[in-house]
Each structure stands twice: as C-alpha cells, then as structure tokens.
Amino acid sequence: MKSAPEQQKLVTVVIPAHNEAAAIGDVISRIPKTIERMQVVVIVVDDGSTDDTAQIARVFGAQVLRHVTNLGAGAATVTGLKAAQALNADVIVTIDADGQHDPEEIERLVQCLLEGPFDVVIGSRILSPQGMPLTRFVANLLLNALTFVAYRKIVSDSQSGFKVFSQAAANALDLRSAGYEICSEIIGEIYRKNLRYKSVPVKPIYTEYSRAKGQHFLNGVNLILGLLTRWVRHT
C-alpha cells in the first residue's frame, strides 16, 4: 500500500513594509527560492504605504497583505506572523524591507534554527558590527540595556528585525506592540515562554537609504515610552 507523499515543509519570510517601493523589489529577489529542500513563500505586509510597495512586491512574486492605514512595524509583523501561522509554516523568518539585512543570510539562520535545535534565532548586527555607524551601535547598546530593565533578558541585538522562529515559537508568542518596541517585546516573550534561542552574527548593510528609513530619534522616544508602558503593565 502506498503511503501518502510527505508534504513539503514551508518557510515563510515575513517583510513588514511601509513606503519601501525603492528597496522592496531588490530584497524579495535576493531571498532564496528554497532552503534545505523547503519551499519558501514571501509575505509582504504593506503597512498603509502611499507608494507602489504592494504592486512591486506582487511583481516580484510575494504574497501581499495590506493594512488600510499605517499601524507601525510591530503591527505589520504580527499580521505577517498570523498569516504565516495560517499557512501552517514550519519556519517563519522576519526581515526588514529597507535592505538593511542581506536576504542571502536567511539560509544560514534557518539552518542554525534547525540544527540547534532552537526556537528562535536572532540575527545580531552587534556581533558583526563592521559598517555600522557608531551612533547606531551605541543606541542599540542603550536599547539592549533598556530591554534588560523591562524584560530581564539581555541579548546582543534586541532591536534586530532579522529573526527566525520555529512554528512552536511563533504560536507561543503573545505580541501587543504596534511600533518598533515589538523587537524588545519579542525578547521579553522569549524569556517568559522559556524559548531556546541563539544570536547569530549578521552583516549590517547601512546605505543612505536604509539610514534614512531606519529608526529616528522620535521613534526611539516612542520606543522607550512603549517599553515603559508595557513594563508597568507587566509588573
């Protein structure tokens, strides 16, 4: 009797994007089509963009979900994670849309997750800081410290948007943040849910574009306020 063919495993790459028409195509085109014989599906969450982000993402073969208005990077990430869970994805990757990460490194991080085995792999720019502006480096260290104060967990790059989750880890996460503070909240969830994690060095790519699109000072203030709010609520 023939047994049913084994279903191919699925990796979904979630890209939250807001007005990233200039970079999104290049990011999607550099994502591997298969990883470890697993199929790769790219989900772009267009977070209320006013440019052609969604159309360009579709042209490059991504599945696109659209927020009718801009909610923030955190909310877009959560939407993408939910879509990936609905697809029953075995591995879920999150990566920034501004080209700050090298999509070709996804394969290495996924392999690390599978071989660990780990629940979460964090792509750490701090472990490989060549090319990272000093101000960003220092700001990230300060935010690591703040994340530690809020969530009692120290990691080398708490603000990295480049992460890989196992299916179980994605199901375990209970995320509420709408803004950039989601990165710290994920670290808090790793601690609360006792997830196995590893930080892996990734190459930070800082172009004029990605620096302009990155976190601004006011975002930093919002991030601190958001973290404080959540910290007060959790204590």
> What is the binding site for other proteins (CB under 8 A)?
7-8, 10, 39, 41, 45, 63, 65-69, 71, 75, 78-79, 82-83, 85-88, 171, 176, 178, 229
CA atoms within 13 A of residue 132's CA, in its CB half-sphere? 24
From the list 23, 34, 152, the residue with the least C-alpha distance to 96 is 23
Min separation Cβ 144 and other proteins, Å: 26
Compute the distance between CA of residue 38 and CA of residue 7 in angstroms, rounded to an integer: 10
Task: Please check whether residue 59 is in contact with residue 25, taking contact to mean a CB–CB distance below 8 angstroms.
Answer: yes
Q: Closest CB to other proteins among 4 and 218?
A: 4
Cβ distance to other proteins smaller for residue 75 or 97 = 75
Yes or no: say if 20 and 57 are a contact pair by the CB < 8 Å rule: no
Query: Cα(67)–Cα(46) distance, rounded to whole angstroms?
Result: 6
Nearer to other proteins, 38 or 132 (CB): 38
> Is 62 or 114 the residue whose CB approaches other proteins more closely?
62
Determine contact, residues 136/206, Cβ cutoff 8 Å.
Answer: yes
For the bound state, the minimum distance from the C-beta of residue 73 to other proteins, rounded and expressed in Å, comes to 12
Give kind and range of the element (H or E) at residue 35.
strand 34-35
Question: What minimum distance in Å lies between the beta carbon of 74 and other proteins?
Answer: 9
CB of 66 to other proteins, least distance (A): 6
Structure tokens at 65: 């979900």
CA–CA separation, 224 vs 228, rounded Å?
A: 6
Q: How far is the C-alpha of 214 from the C-alpha of 4, rounded, in Å?
A: 47
- Provide the minimum distance between the beta carbon of 81 and other proteins in the complex, in angstroms, as a whole number: 9
Min CB(129)–other proteins separation in Å: 33
Q: Which is nearer to other proteins, 67 or 203 (CB)?
A: 67
Nearer to other proteins, 8 or 207 (CB): 8
204 by Cβ neighbours in 10 Å (0-12 / 13-18 / 19+) ranks as buried
